[in-house]
Structure 1
């Protein structure tokens, strides 16, 4: 997990807020895909890939935050 320590927090946050949410209108894309997942309509491979693509910056940000919290303990 050394690579995660090398990623600046600001870059992880910026990636999550831009790449993770884009396109922003009419609603954030990841929100649309999460609603599809909850509704059981996320079945096409392109939609699953799209969810993974938009969720990756958020996963990196959450992992970085968890690693930072554990380092302080």
Structure 2
């Protein structure tokens, strides 16, 4: 995971936000999938994959920020 820690934090932040907020209209997929999860409607494999995909950038950003804070 050296690539994660060598990437500039600004670039990682922009990529994480773009992935989390795509598509911008009518509603980001991440918001839609979290709502489905809260209502117990997240059942189809494609929806579960979509939740993982759109949240992956934020997870990587969190890993990077936690590691940087500990150093």
Same fold (TM over 0.5): yes
Q: Which has the larger displacement, 57-66 or 6-15?
A: 6-15
The CA deviation string for residues 1-57 of structure 1, in whole angstroms up to 9 with x for no partner, is 533311221121011111121001122210110110111000000000011100100
Residue segments in structure 2 that go unaligned for 5+ positions in a row: none
In the TM superposition, structure 1's runs of 4+ consecutive aligned residues that sit over 3 Å from their partners are: none
TM-score (norm 2): 0.89
Corresponding residue for residue 8 of structure 1: 8
Structure 2 matches for 1:1-73, cutoff 5 A? 1-71=1-71
| Paired residue total | 71
Once superposed, what is the RMSD of the aligned Cα atoms? 1.2
Q: For residues 15 and 2 of structure 2, what CA distance do their matches in structure 1 show?
A: 19
